[in-house]
Amino acid sequence: MSDTLDHPRSPLTAKDWAADMEVRWCPGCGDYAILKAVLKTVTDLGLDPDRTAFISGIGCASRFPYYVESYGFHTIHGRAATIATGAKLARPELDVWVVSGDGDSLSIGGNHLLHLVRRNLDLVYLLFNNQIYGLTKGQASPTSRLGQVTPSTPEGSIDQPVHAGSFVLGAGATFYARVPDVAQAQLVEVMKQAHDHRGTGFVEILQNCIVYNDGAFAEVTGKATAPERQLWCKAGEPLLYAGGRKGLRFDPAAFDLVPFTVGEDGFEVSDAVVHDPTNRRLAQMLAARDDVLAMGVVFQTDAPTLDGLHHARRPAAKEDLQALLEGRETWVVA
Amino acid sequence: MNAEHGTARALVVRFAGDSGDGIQVTGGRYSAAAALTGADLATFPDFPAEIRAPAGTTYGVSAYQVQLGRDLVRTAGDLVDVLVALNPAALKVNLEEMQPGGVIILDQSAFTERNLKKAGYAVDPSTDGSLAGFRVVALDIQKLTQAAVKEAGVSAREAARSRNFWTLGLILWLTGGDVAATRSWIERRFEQDIAAANRLALEAGHAFGETAELGRIEPILGVAGSPLPPGRYRSINGADALCLGLVTGAKLAGLELLYGSYPITPATSMLHTLAKLGAYGCDVFQAEDEIAAIGVALGASYAGKLGVTGTSGPGMALKTEMLGLAIAAELPLVVVNAQRGGPSTGLPTKTEQSDLFQATLGRNADAPLPVVAASSPGDAFDCAIEAIRIAVTHMTPVILLTDGYLANASEPWRVPELESLPPITRPDPAGRSPYQHDPETLSRPWIPAGTKGGRHRIGGLERADGSGAVSYDPANHQRMTELRQARVQKIADFLPRVVLEVGEPGDDLLLLGWGSTKGAMAQAAAELRAEGLKVAHLHLRHLAPFAHDLEALLASFGRVLACEMNMGQLAFLLRGHYGRPVAALTKVSGRPFQVREIKQRARQELTGALGAVA
């Protein structure tokens, strides 16, 4: 076992990346699809499992590291971001992937997510958003919708839900993407981009909890309704959805994006806002919508990473520890 | 002054004034000047939690006490021989601890009607005879300083700020010292005109003593010789010594260090010191909160650096869950707790030893970990190395306890020779499974994330002994819980024998302590022994696990009295461990023990045990 990380990339298959461990999610859980996509992503990227670490908090999503044949650390509730920060600072060459759920990231771990994102640590952050606490049997989470009836909110949730995208963009995220768990190909593609992004590649995955919140995204992902609810962002292209029949235009009076139908009320394709993934204001407007959900890479910009700055700033090593111990003023007792 | 035949062997000086008066600097520089003459000394900085507490108030008084001696000095002293009071409030709160016949130096300029009222004086105590038992030197220090610094050309406000250096000059003269060392420090420390003003004030204060024919109080600084063992010395406080110990320990173990921390009094000084030591393999990370601070440290250990975090009581409470994870995952980690008065926010700048239960027991479930406590500023260096040694050889989080008093107090420290320090050998993980426990230490190998060929999964869920798979098997959890207990107990196999500081096994009374109470306890035991009483003193560095031979040693004494700045936590732990009676002398006033307090209680114990003792 050598300490060096200078090992060559190996041609591995997705099977090689699967840990020899019984996967314990509920049958039909969206997590299976995400696991499959992640294994394909790391395989396609040709990553080295010996220099890759999956780090998670607590919750269904956070069991993830046990199932990947790399380094893995299943930590404590909400704190994965802190452990990941320490690991990345200690070993910048380490390819770090944080896996976390909506309760883990946006409730108990909200503070750490805020700071991880603003520091722009160079890692991938996968948020499995199923809008429910699954592992504790179905309580309302910070992304649960208003009025949602759960064992902890029998009269319906009265907490305003948080948009994960709005939160991280507000904290200064340099990369925000969103994908539903069922969009396997796009999920792989987006995760590759998140990995190649220098900084925190934050990916919100809409994940179905089949036991406690089944169908939370049925409309968003259902065959018939999906076109009306998903808008795939492409840099330099107009923000269109519903097969190009609808779009989002900027309404100066509302100071917001508003939907329109092409050819109605005098609006044409040319009225749709052209997507610029480097525009944080635009990304904020997209992330805050509940009607049509922006998918794909909503925002991406270049910024220095914390790990980069941290190591760049480190002073040149001094060897003379003895002189340090002695300090500036010493005297001799004979 | 403890003077015999006119030659004092020790002197206690206390500087006191508003928290903006530069009292801590004055005391620190006086101590440094005294140390350079070869005197032994111990200091007690004592300041309010407010950065600039309202001027003139009793609760805003900042003080710095130092005992210097030509014999070994163990404490900052019980009673004050020389008090410098820069305002009425400083006089009021310190008068109670004056040595009868001691010297009080007052700055008359501050004894205004308004200040007297703020301090709660109806009449000026310097004129109403209430200081009759002392030798009072009342001077208009403000005016004298302003006159002295005129040629520096600084503003009146700046000139007034040099008052502390004028006072320092005077005290140096009164106690037989010179200004050379302080003068060169001022030149290094301050910008041109401020440096000039401070230097002029210092020299003027010193010259005033001479020309005003005040008469030297006690020329202890002018006496030759030193009670200290030969060697190269520097002055150091507990926080700095601990930081140097961390850096040195990491080097001895061949590791780099990552210190994660969140600002909290009195632990913050470690953050400041370590932030300057990047060139010595120390990374510092200021985290968003206490939990992140320990999380970052644990993450660093996970990836192969030595993770260290430092905090004080309330911060410790927040770190508890992460400690449990470090125990479950069996990763090395050092957690420093600079204890302060509590509960809750409590007394941020005052000292206490009340986090012993928290350190040894304060986690959910059976979650044992080793606890080490430093007993003096210099000992903090050794304890930091010891904490690192235990953490990396036994793969466990270690709690290192210091306290607010230790962190701030300073003493002459014989600088260790690096070559003389034994290296910390880490177990070789080669060829071992990450989940396999070494039979000698019961520890698993440390295989940092990123190590070629070592990949594995670990976490807070219970894992199967040997395979590392998640396991809810009842027998396995029983075994793993026992293993975690045994693993910490095993550390005792590697501990040195406990050695009495003072006295012999079988004495009538054992004074048992831990942490910063050591000086006062050793002094008390030595003085009682000099009276012919059979009193011993033992000071524990390892509070979990206890050394194997502790039980037999305790059993040899007629009585055991634990002296602690808490409500009796060590006494409680020992009673539970050994089923033996242990009495407790407790103090939670935010101030360290005085020698006389310990002696008084020790006498009572002996009386109770042996009948009347003279």
Residue by residue, what is the 3-state secondary structure of B521-585? HHHHHHHHHHCCCCEEEEEECEEECCCCCHHHHHHCCCEEEEEECCCCHHHHHHHHHHCCCCEEE
- Angstrom distance (rounded) from CA A67 to CA B457: 9
To the nearest whole Å, the CA of B94 is away from the closest chain A CA by 31
pLDDT in tens, B357-386: 999 999 999 999 999 999 999 999 999 999
pLDDT in tens, B91-122: 999 999 999 999 999 999 999 999 999 999 99
Residue B475 burial (10 A CB sphere; 0-12, 13-18, 19+): exposed
Six-digit token pair at B592?
């360290």
- Angstrom distance (rounded) from CA A234 to CA B277: 47
Cβ <8 Å between A90 and B258: yes
- Angstrom distance (rounded) from CA B98 to CA B236: 27
- Angstrom distance (rounded) from CA B118 to CA B58: 8
pLDDT in tens, B211-231: 987 778 888 998 888 999 999
pTM: 0.95
ipTM of the complex: 0.96
To the nearest whole Å, the CA of A302 is away from the closest chain B CA by 23
B251 shares contact with chain A (CB less than 8 Å): yes
Is A27 a member of any domain?
yes
Nearest CB neighbour to A333, from listed B226, B298, B459: B226
* Residue labelled with tokens 């600097």: B25
Confidence grade of residue B8 (pLDDT, cut at 50, 70, 90): low
Host domain of residue A56? 14-216+304-326
Fold assignment, B509-610 = Rossmann fold (3.40.50)
Cβ <8 Å between A90 and B447: no
**Average pLDDT over every residue of B5-23:** 83
Say whether pLDDT at B1 is over 50: no
Average pLDDT value over all residues in chain A: 95
Here the CATH number for the domain that contains residue A140 is 3.40.50.970
Per CB-CB distance under 8 Å, the chain B contacts of A331 are 35-36, 38, 232-234
To the nearest whole Å, the CA of B318 is away from the closest chain A CA by 12
To the nearest whole Å, the CA of A100 is away from the closest chain B CA by 14
Helical segments of B46-151, H only: 88-94, 113-118, 141-148
Cβ <8 Å between A86 and B301: yes
- Angstrom distance (rounded) from CA B318 to CA A297: 37
Q: At what angle do helices B268-275 and B238-252 cross, to 10 degrees?
A: 50
**Average pLDDT over every residue of B443-468:** 96
What DSSP string describes B145-195?
Answer: HHHHTGGGT--HHHHHTTHHHHHHHHHHHHTT--SHHHHHHHHHHS-HHHH
Q: Which of A194, A203, A190, A188 is nearest to A43 (CA)?
A: A188
To the nearest whole Å, the CA of B314 is away from the closest chain A CA by 18
CA dist B359 → B90, B288, B387, B401, B568 (Å): 36, 23, 14, 8, 14
Six-digit token pair at B50?
């407010």
Among B286, B302, B462, most A C-beta atoms within 10 A, so best to mutate, is B302
B248 shares contact with chain A (CB less than 8 Å): yes
Total CB pairs under 8 A between chain A and B: 216
Say whether pLDDT at B19 is over 90: no
Per CB-CB distance under 8 Å, the chain A contacts of B277 are 324
Cβ <8 Å between B283 and A321: no
Name residues 438-467 of chain B within 8 A of A (Cβ).
447-461
- Domain boundaries of chain B, sorted by first residue: 10-222, 235-420, 509-610
Amino acid of residue B345 = T
CATH fourth-level superfamily of B235-420? Thiamin diphosphate (ThDP)-binding fold, Pyr/PP domains (3.40.50.970)
Where do the DSSP E strands lie in A235-292? 240-241, 246-251, 256-261
Nearest CB neighbour to A1, from listed B36, B452, B457: B452
**Average pLDDT over every residue of B445-474:** 95
Cβ <8 Å between A326 and B232: yes
Spell out the residues 6+ positions from residue B114 whose beta carbon is closer than 8 angstroms to its own: B56
> Does the fold of domain B235-420 match that of domain B10-222?
no
Q: At what angle do helices A110-119 and A80-90 cross, to 10 degrees?
A: 30
B234 shares contact with chain A (CB less than 8 Å): yes
Say whether pLDDT at B458 is over 90: yes
Count helices and strands in chain A by DSSP H and E runs = 12, 12
- Angstrom distance (rounded) from CA B331 to CA B447: 10
pLDDT in tens, A254-311: 999 999 999 999 999 999 999 999 999 999 999 999 999 999 999 999 999 999 999 9
Per CB-CB distance under 8 Å, the chain A contacts of B288 are 111-112, 114-115
pLDDT at A9: 54
Confidence grade of residue B614 (pLDDT, cut at 50, 70, 90): very low
Strand (E) or helix (H) holding B30: helix B23-36
Cβ <8 Å between A86 and B448: no
pLDDT in tens, A115-127: 999 999 999 999 9
Spell out the residues 6+ positions from residue B382 whose beta carbon is closer than 8 angstroms to its own: B245, B374
pLDDT at B6: 43
Is A92 a member of any domain?
yes
Check if CATH label 3.30.750.24 holds for domain B10-222.
no
**Average pLDDT over every residue of A39-63:** 97
Which range is least confidently modeled, A58-67, B128-137, B381-390? B128-137
Cβ <8 Å between A87 and B299: yes
B32 shares contact with chain A (CB less than 8 Å): yes
- Angstrom distance (rounded) from CA B355 to CA B372: 12
Amino acid of residue B459 = G
What is the total count of domains within chain A?
1
**Average pLDDT over every residue of A144-173:** 97
> Edge-to-edge strand order for the sheet containing A246-251?
A240-241, A246-251, A256-261
B303 shares contact with chain A (CB less than 8 Å): yes
Cβ–Cβ under 8 Å, residues A3 and A44: no
Nearest CB neighbour to A111, from listed B226, B288, B324: B288
Cβ–Cβ under 8 Å, residues A248 and A257: yes
Amino acid of residue B414 = R
pLDDT at B612: 45
Is A232 a member of any domain?
no
Cβ <8 Å between B244 and A112: no
Q: Which residue of chain B has the CA closest to A331?
A: B233
Cβ <8 Å between B38 and A7: no
Nearest CB neighbour to B234, from listed A7, A69, A330: A330
- Angstrom distance (rounded) from CA A122 to CA A263: 44
pLDDT at A160: 97
pLDDT at B212: 85
Confidence grade of residue A8 (pLDDT, cut at 50, 70, 90): low
Per CB-CB distance under 8 Å, the chain B contacts of A81 are 292, 295
CA diameter of chain A: 97
pLDDT at A55: 98
Nearest CB neighbour to A326, from listed B234, B305, B456: B234
pLDDT in tens, A77-91: 999 999 999 999 999
**Average pLDDT over every residue of B227-246:** 96
